[in-house]
Structure 1
Amino acid sequence: MSPIAIAVLALSMSVDAFAAALGRGATAGRGRLGDAMRTGLVFGSVEAITPVIGWGAGVLAAGTIRSIDHWIAFGLLALVGGRMLLEAFRRDEAEEPAGRSFWMLLATAVGTSLDAMAVGVSLAFLEVNIWVIAAAIGFATFCLATGGMLAGRLLGRRFGRYAEMLGGVALIILGVTILVEHLSA
């Protein structure tokens, strides 16, 4: 796989994490660069690990992962998105946005990275260096998720509740899209 192909793959695998981090940043209140980098690190680490898991599973049994990855992604993204919507409706305008737990961050990261696992499964049938590809995906995701968190923070100061609602809806739509794409294939 050429360096350009790896870069394109890495960026395309990172877009979901960027969108999720954007919504997370919008609800973070007075987040700092450290919070944004922590979010980027969690998203980047998970996004780097999942193609390796998928690659390993592809080597062992490609059909098993492909048959359930879309349901897992849908469930996690719908759960996190639904919770964001619920919190947006419950939150008082004057109230600071609710903090996000590490477990919600991790669930979101896993939900947005399952497509990378599916890509890893497909890479198992090609002659590629999975470690280089996983590192590229992880680094791109770290950068985009950190940037998304910071950009979302700016949006959150102006739009608060509406940005949280938009982030929740975006995650639900992302989960539905993954499910529909896999079920119609």
Structure 2
Amino acid sequence: MSIIEIILISIGLAMDAFGVSIGKGLTMPNGSNGKKIVLAALFGVFQFVMPLIGWAIGRQFIDIIAEFDHWIIFVLLGYLGISMIRESYNDESDEEVENNNLGFGEMMLLSVATSLDAMAVGLTFAFMDINVWFASGMIGIITFLISLIGIYMGRFMGQFVGRYAELIGGAVLILIGTKILMQHLGIMGEL
């Protein structure tokens, strides 16, 4: 997997956190810079750890399913992409808390909720020739930066961008899964 593909996957995975960040940026008061940075950092940390967990689980089964791993990658990335696209049209995904009190517990819950997709992507990493530490680090850093931007832009951009960010992120995951499948089936060469 090329570095460009890792960056695209990182951006795609960060879109859930970006959408939530925009929503939280709408409700967080201007003087709460510490909370804004902590929230973005938690998103990044969880997006870093979850692929490692998924990878560790996947490595346990690599010998059993190495023959059809490209189908697993295709199905998982496709499912995640479709889920993100579906969520981009769901009004309930934007149910941002009206209360400006964003506690550490809520930040942790949001971090876990927005990083579950990253664990599934980490599972696909187990079947690829990839440096999982580098890929997970890239996912974590990009998520932190995108989330921080989303939080600070929340007041200006509103929910409009959050919806389209998830839509684009989902499409990217589907395209990468399709590319990997086509390469393994010999339909397409390495890019």
One-letter amino acid of the counterpart of residue 9, structure 1 = I
Cα contact 1:36–1:149 (8 A) shared by 2: yes
Query: Counterparts of 1:73-84 in structure 2 under 5 Å?
Result: none
Shift of 1:87: 5.0
Q: Which residue of 2 aligns with 1:107?
A: 109
Query: Counterparts of 1:78-97 in structure 2 under 5 Å?
Result: 85=95, 87-88=97-98, 97=99
Query: Counterparts of 1:6-155 in structure 2 under 5 Å?
Result: 6-61=6-61, 85=95, 87-88=97-98, 97-154=99-156
The alpha-carbon distance between structure 1 residues 32 and 118, as it changes in their structure 2 partners (threshold 3 A), is same
One-letter amino acid of the counterpart of residue 45, structure 1 = V
One-letter amino acid of the counterpart of residue 99, structure 1 = N
- Distance (Å, rounded) in 2 between the aligned partners of 1:99 and 1:114: 24
Aligned length: 145
**Aligned partner of residue 40 in structure 1, secondary structure:** helix
Gaps of 5+ in 2: 66-75, 171-191
The alpha-carbon distance between structure 1 residues 55 and 32, as it changes in their structure 2 partners (threshold 3 A), is same
**Aligned partner of residue 98 in structure 1, secondary structure:** coil
Cα contact 1:31–1:153 (8 A) shared by 2: no
Quick one: percent identity of the two aligned structures?
30
Cα contact 1:33–1:150 (8 A) shared by 2: no
**Aligned partner of residue 60 in structure 2, secondary structure:** helix
Shift of 1:40: 1.2
Cα contact 1:56–1:121 (8 A) shared by 2: yes
1:22-68 CA-to-partner distances (Å, cap 9, x unmatched) read 111111123443332211110000000000000001112589xx8xx
The alpha-carbon distance between structure 1 residues 31 and 117, as it changes in their structure 2 partners (threshold 3 A), is farther
- Distance (Å, rounded) in 1 between the aligned partners of 2:96 and 2:45: 28
The alpha-carbon distance between structure 1 residues 131 and 27, as it changes in their structure 2 partners (threshold 3 A), is same
Cα contact 2:21–2:148 (8 A) shared by 1: yes
One-letter amino acid of the counterpart of residue 146, structure 1 = L
One-letter amino acid of the counterpart of residue 136, structure 1 = M
Cα contact 1:44–1:139 (8 A) shared by 2: yes
- Distance (Å, rounded) in 2 between the aligned partners of 1:98 and 1:32: 10
- Distance (Å, rounded) in 2 between the aligned partners of 1:29 and 1:122: 39
One-letter amino acid of the counterpart of residue 124, structure 2 = S
CA root-mean-square deviation? 3.3
